Homo-oligomer: A and B are copies of this chain.
Amino acid sequence: MTVGDNSGMQRNTRQRAAILETLSRQDDFRSAQQIHEQMKADGETVGLATVYRNLQVLSRSDRLDVLVAGDGEALYRQCEDTGHHHHLVCRECGRTVEFLAPKLENAMTAIAHEHGFTDVDHTLEVFGLCSDHAEGGVETR
């Protein structure tokens, strides 16, 4: 407990590497099961529980982003920006754009402080239709 305490360290396993590799080839949010399916299709042999565990560990260490879908399912994505940021997600195809919004951050914090809240945190996701899936089509109104 005193010397060589490697608590917090993670071992390098073939499975984790494979999961990260798979994620690096995806550009939208995917569920643990979808990722597992993908890996199986690619010939990787990794247990489903292992996928779940690694996704959790990786998201906890901010190497992955998590998005809780409307039905409560957790979706994961490897983001380019490693810092705090938000997402603009297409409801139709899942296409995702990362964005920073310092003004929003400050405004939210300010509102919280006005109400006496401290240690502020937040969840913010924006959904819409990307240019490829713009609605209406013929409805030239």
Contact = CB atoms under 8 A, between A and B. Distances in A.
Interface of A: 68, 70-74, 88, 90-91, 97, 99, 101, 103-104, 107-108, 111-112, 115-131, 134-135
Contacts of A126: 108, 111-112, 117, 120-122
22 contacts: A68-B70, A68-B72, A72-B72, A72-B73, A88-B111, A88-B112, A88-B115, A90-B117, A91-B121, A99-B111, A104-B104, A104-B108, A107-B107, A108-B124, A116-B130, A117-B128, A117-B129, A120-B127, A121-B126, A123-B124, A123-B127, A124-B124
Nearest to A131: B116
Give the oligomeric copy count: 2
